[in-house]
Amino acid sequence: MYKDIATPIRTKEILEKYGFSFKKSLGQNFLIDPNILRNIVSHANLTENSGAIEVGPGIGALTEHLAREAKKVVSFEIDQRLLPVLEDTLSPYNNVKIVHSDILKADVEQVIAEEMPGIEDIMVVANLPYYVTTPILMKLLNDRLPIRGFVVMMQKEVADRITAKPGTKAYGSLSIAIQYYVTAEIAMIVPKTVFMPQPNVDSAVIRLIKHETPPVKVIDEDFLFEVSRASFAQRRKTILNNLQNGLVNGKQNKELIIQALAEAGIDPSRRGETLSIQEFGKLSDCLHPAFC
């Protein structure tokens, strides 16, 4: 077993050796606590036959823990300056592939096909760059990758919104957009002290496991998300009000919205935050003929 990259001493040594300076604009807050890393990886339930996709390996702190548990690790890193560092720090591991790319522009499905042939169990495991947490998650979900799920660190406030249940303050269109694809739970809360440099916000690790079938069947997924976005636009307004303001031609079609709400069994004076994903599904199907 090699000495962990993620101890504060070794991290400092590596940073000094390469004269590396953190770029705040790339969300570079590196983990310096091997216990947290072990904990993150344990939530992914990897086996020696699993594959792990990582976004942003940094200097390889999490990557090496993944490499010890999984058959193959593929890590996407945007910052070219980190490539020689990773070549050095990860040299003990022959099951890691670093892809120099912005994850948002990468053809991840193609990379999985090339780098993980025959691997059936694949998890995304990452300490995400906080400035693009949501776009990264939405891209990876929309790409319909052959993965089991995600174990990812992010700012706690976003983790709360992603995992929120109806009737709570944090519940909103992001909760619906993510929970349509996965079951979502907070796996652990992480203190600021385990990062270098320390971020300004609290962090949490969430676990997302893909549904075998969606929690609700709808005619048009994009329209479901449009209806949920419109319903949460002004949280203190009723669902009827928000749909009138938020749907294209909603104002001219108040009667059709009232009719669709009745058909879906939803009181027009309710607020969006009280509706379950199943109710949003039913409502979007009832609105669909009039608005699509």
Residues near ligand SAM (CB under 6 A): 26-31, 55-58, 61-62, 76-79, 102-104, 127, 129, 132
Nearest CA-CA partner of 232 in 290, 277, 289, 182: 277
Q: Which is nearer to ligand SAM, 58 or 272 (CB)?
A: 58
Q: Which is nearer to ligand SAM, 127 or 175 (CB)?
A: 127
Q: Which is nearer to ligand SAM, 36 or 257 (CB)?
A: 36
Kindly give the pairing relationship between strand 149-155 and strand 121-127. parallel
Query: Nearest distance from residue 232's CB to ligand SAM, in Å?
Result: 27
Helix axes 82-89, 8-18, angle to 10 degrees: 130
Query: Nearest distance from residue 59's CB to ligand SAM, in Å?
Result: 7
CA 180 to chain centre: 13
Query: Nearest distance from residue 104's CB to ligand SAM, in Å?
Result: 5
Residue nearest to ligand SAM (CB): 56
Which residues lie across from 205 on neighbouring strands? 153, 188
Query: Nearest distance from residue 83's CB to ligand SAM, in Å?
Result: 11
Q: What are phi and psi of 126, to 5 degrees?
A: -160, 155
Q: Which is nearer to ligand SAM, 87 or 120 (CB)?
A: 87
Q: Which residue has the tokens 């939803």?
A: 266
Q: Which residue has the tokens 């709570």?
A: 168
> Helix, strand, coil % (nearest 5) of the chain?
45, 20, 35
How crowded is the C-beta side of 70, counted as CA atoms within 13 Å?
32
3-class state of residue 79 by DSSP = coil
Query: Nearest distance from residue 267's CB to ligand SAM, in Å?
Result: 43
Q: Which is nearer to ligand SAM, 52 or 164 (CB)?
A: 52
